[in-house]
Structure 1
Amino acid sequence: MHADEPERLVTRILVTSTLAGDGKSVVATGIASALRATGATVRLVRIDDGDSAAADARQLARVNGVRGASEPVSASEIPSDTDHTVVEALEAEGIEADRTVLVVRHGEADDDTVSRALSTQPDAVVVNGVPEHGGPAARQRITDLGGNAAASIPQDRHLAAPTVRDIAPSIEGELSGDEELFDEASRDLVIGPVSAHEGMDYFRKYPDKTLITRHDRIDIALGALDYEPLCLILAGGEPTLPYVAQRAERESFALITTSLTTLEAVEAIGPLYGDSAFIGERKLARAIELVADNVPTAALV
């Protein structure tokens, strides 16, 4: 390093949580991406400490420009070859870090559980999944329990949405089409309108969608395909024309056919929202946006 060059700070940031599923991967992903945007080199790793660690590591390895590992690592093998290392772990015990971020999912952990987590004295707390207008109250709760609430992240329908692969078995469906989309999720589940003509503005209103319509309403299905849905669900049986299935084989969308009625399928898919893994490029991009908009990462280094 030349004498006139500023010295870079090397920091290890540990992201942990009160409970599994609180959103550690979402926050760790966003912090790593924000630090990389400053021009620093960043490594992002997942500690091998739970059933979801392997899937989490694969998702973290997708972050653009960040050095990741597609497999979890042990706490004793965390590399220190970058300006910043972001470490995701279920618990802080036994992991050395310069900064610790505690993630708390809104409405999940009781006060005693949160207080025990705060006793480790994290440098910042991120409250995840906060309802609209609920940020001030969520942050005040952490303050009242003795913590520092750095930020709150709002509830997000896209992060809560099930993947195409999750949807298919829930509706006893047969899945085909673009396999690269099977682990992706769309923000909205849209029910087909009465007519294709009325559907044009309707489809345009929901750019990030999975559409469900009756198998015999090919006009609705074809109209929706012009607006690039992630997934098309045909309810009540096989399509009356093979053309839709043929398009699914050569175009970028997933197709699910099910014998359930439209209403039965919608009722089966509904409970999947909020109980879906953090997986896929679309959720990754959304997590980075949410953290960039809501978490002051500069204060962590």
Structure 2
Amino acid sequence: MPGLILLSPEPLAGKTTVAAGLAQRFSTEGKTVSVRRMPGDDHAENDAALFSALKGASQDQAAAEVELIEAPAGDAASSLAEFPDARALIITSALTPMNVLADYCRQAGDRLRGAVINKMPARRADSLIAEAKAAGVDLLATLPEDRLLATPVLRDVVEALSAQTEHFDSGGLRPLDRPVIAPISADPGQGYFAGYGASAVIVRSDKPDLQLAALNASAGCLILTGGLPILSYVLERAEEDQIPLLRTGLDTITAVERIEAIFGSATFAGGDEKIKRITELMADWGLAPLFG
């Protein structure tokens, strides 16, 4: 079976997300599938590592029944030339003007098997689909805006905060989907955090009472701001449950601003929760046209 090359006119459109979802779909249908990442941009190395660890994907490209190839964003012609027999699927975000998408699709010629509009706002879905059709874009599918997929993972947060970590080995791909900022007062305590089911609590490093309350409420992670040493009994409590600690010298406001900045703009890092979610969103896609 010929390969399918995933293209996009702009970075962070969702090619890696779609590739991971397609790999899971083909795998559940009993097909052996390989996924590769072409070099050429800053995201290539991380994407290749994600694909190599993807459950259900084969590392034997020659034996695979389906080969998915993610190309760098931008110039489609050179990527298509490198794989002259591959079909093409184009992924773009809902922010891309439809006339720009139509021009980009034309570069694939008769090898094009459709386009996917990602991060589609529900309120604009009908109008954007109409615009795409009017521009001559052959839509295969759309993907809605999704909070979990837009959420950075802890690995992204570590980089954004230049943080030091404790008990982090198994938590790097955990989504930061429900971060909570600790209150100024200690009065709410454990009940406050338990009510949120926080995936992470952002708390000052000089507030051990709040740190313990968050740990006892099963917070998924503590992000400790201010750069002060953490008391030994807090470290011991975190070690008991292997709760990741991220320590940054930034103040709380700056840390929150940096975390906010990576929501929706971080690369797709995988992880079981995100892989499951994209597979669910793609469950009703018809895959036959991709290789027709």
Give the TM-score of the pair, scaled to structure 2.
0.82
Give the conservation status (yes or no) of the 8 Å contact 1:164–1:181.
Answer: yes
Question: Helix, strand or coil for the counterpart of 2:123?
Answer: coil
- Counterpart residue number, 2:224: 234
Inter-partner Cα distance in structure 2 for 1:41 and 1:282:
20
- Report whether the alignment pairs 1:221 with 2:214: no
Inter-partner Cα distance in structure 2 for 1:54 and 1:200:
37
- Counterpart residue number, 1:45: 36
- Report whether the alignment pairs 1:86 with 2:74: no
Higher alpha-carbon deviation: 282-291 or 47-56 = 282-291
Which among 266, 277, 282 is matched to residue 267 of structure 2? 277
Which among 154, 163, 169 is matched to residue 164 of structure 1? 154
Decide whether aligned partners of structure 1 residues 141 and 68 sit closer, same or farther in structure 2, where only a CA change above 3 A counts.
Answer: farther
Give the conservation status (yes or no) of the 8 Å contact 1:138–1:152.
Answer: no
Unaligned runs of 5+ in 2: none
**Aligned residues: CA RMSD:** 2.8
Runs of 4+ in 1 over 6 A off after TM superposition: none
Give the conservation status (yes or no) of the 8 Å contact 2:215–2:237.
Answer: no
Unaligned runs of 5+ in 1: 1-9, 70-78
- Counterpart residue number, 2:90: 102
**CA deviation string 1:248-275 (max 9, x = no partner):** 4453332123344433321232112222
Give the TM-score of the pair, scaled to structure 1.
0.79
- Report whether the alignment pairs 1:114 with 2:101: yes
Inter-partner Cα distance in structure 2 for 1:148 and 1:36:
26
Decide whether aligned partners of structure 1 residues 259 and 12 sit closer, same or farther in structure 2, where only a CA change above 3 A counts.
Answer: closer
**How many residue pairs get matched?**
279
- Report whether the alignment pairs 1:127 with 2:117: yes
Higher alpha-carbon deviation: 80-89 or 21-30 = 80-89
Inter-partner Cα distance in structure 2 for 1:200 and 1:111:
44
- Counterpart residue number, 2:57: 66
Shift of 1:240: 5.8
**CA deviation string 1:2-37 (max 9, x = no partner):** xxxxxxxx3422221122221111111111110110
Give the conservation status (yes or no) of the 8 Å contact 2:212–2:237.
Answer: no
The one-letter code sitting in structure 2 at the alignment partner of 1:113 is: V
Inter-partner Cα distance in structure 1 for 2:200 and 2:5:
36
Percent identity, aligned pairs only, is: 25
